Structure 1
């Protein structure tokens, strides 16, 4: 890791319309950053509401609708951020989707959909953001969304779990490549986090909590993840890179 002096001013957060992404975007605004919030077309109303909250905190907010599985659209997010906010210091590749099903029965199309968002999308965010950060020459922070299921697999969650293992591996490789440019690359690895998206699948036989054998008391909040991202973005976090940090209430240890 080089000694480039890093002072974060702007960030991109993908999948920012709700849940963990929304919480990260708002926390970064609280930390004094201007934020580009991204999601897909049907999340526009919610995304605009997040942008309004950021502006109410006295920071600039830019809304960019884009599909992170498409190279040209990720490039568009970065280009618009640089055009409107002046630079790119932080990329949070948060967008992701779930998926459950037996390896014996899971359709290939379902597998590929999970990997397109969770792996290809993260790769494109890492790659295109890194190119911009290297061009700027001021270092940067790249952060991706892994999972505790990227540390240990579970039955019936093969597509999702393996995609999060891939994010973990990509994060390590990117950290080794980009350190010479003053760019750290890390990931957060949540356990079960209570969001609108996950609420309906938390309880009962065959539920996510049941599959992962998660005790009732160990459910997190999106703010728990946002606090980790907040620290990783700070200049003093320069000595942390290549890590996928578990945030799950102590259910699982590295």
Structure 2
């Protein structure tokens, strides 16, 4: 087996990549020379196709594979088709997630299960089947999952299930990192703060707080000052890009906040 520092990953899967942070990661990794597999729900096929075309127009390699991350058969298919298309799997970015809000006392079991199934079960399935493929390949790899600053410290009273799911990602990441160390596969998570994407840009709700700026309502319910730091998805993509490089081989089991300092650790 090649030394992990000498191994250059070249095929990456990014779930939840039709828009937002996932799209930014896919574009950045394509710029880094990766063949990228764009993956999201089938209802977002048009957005996936547009992203694939954007990558290809710049000389990159990309395909779209519709996937529901809560379904085990879909994740198995995602990994199998990636290997069939590009000859292997080097990087799995388990990015897909949702963020429905509810107070704890009013939270339904159905809402809790939905959030946990997408944000935690979905990550577990991506981790599991990517790891199995990487062990089979015997050449190392990179596995990353989307946590959140709310996966380190819960805040506000509307995002208990979301926070719980993101704490779960950190636990899964630490556990798999230890199991995969002998196989030279690193496992890490990224923990965004207020990143302005379609998920947080809600003009109707943003108008109810502060100046009505994009992301204002999310800041409000998560306890971030309305004038607190925010950024675009490219800042998360740049961090993910580094963790996928050969020189990041000594970083594993970590969950780093990308939040402008709103949460310190």
RMSD of aligned Cα (Å): 1.4
Is 1:23–1:222's contact at 8 Å kept on the other side of the alignment? Answer: yes
- Whole-Å separation in 1 of the counterparts to 2:69 and 2:258: 25
- Whole-Å separation in 1 of the counterparts to 2:10 and 2:27: 14
TM-aligned CA deviation for residue 217 of structure 1: 4.2
Q: Does 1:233 align with 2:244?
A: yes
Matching residue of 2:188: 186
Matching residue of 2:212: none
Matching residue of 1:208: 218
Is 2:148–2:193's contact at 8 Å kept on the other side of the alignment? Answer: yes
- Whole-Å separation in 1 of the counterparts to 2:182 and 2:63: 30
TM-aligned CA deviation for residue 183 of structure 1: 0.2
- Whole-Å separation in 2 of the counterparts to 1:156 and 1:95: 20
After TM superposition, where is structure 1 displaced by more than 4 Å over at least 4 residues in a row?
A: none
Is 2:228–2:262's contact at 8 Å kept on the other side of the alignment? Answer: no
- Whole-Å separation in 1 of the counterparts to 2:124 and 2:160: 20
Check 1:202–1:183 CA distance in 2 against 1; reply closer, same or farther (3 A cut).
farther
- Whole-Å separation in 2 of the counterparts to 1:93 and 1:202: 28
Is 2:145–2:173's contact at 8 Å kept on the other side of the alignment? Answer: yes
Q: Does 1:175 align with 2:177?
A: yes
Q: Does 1:75 align with 2:68?
A: no
Q: Secondary structure at the match of 1:35?
A: strand
Q: TM-score, normalised by structure 1?
A: 0.96
Structure 1 unaligned spans of 5+:
none
- CA deviations over 1:82-117 (Å, ceiling 9, x no partner): 001111000000000002111111000000000000
Q: TM-score, normalised by structure 2?
A: 0.92
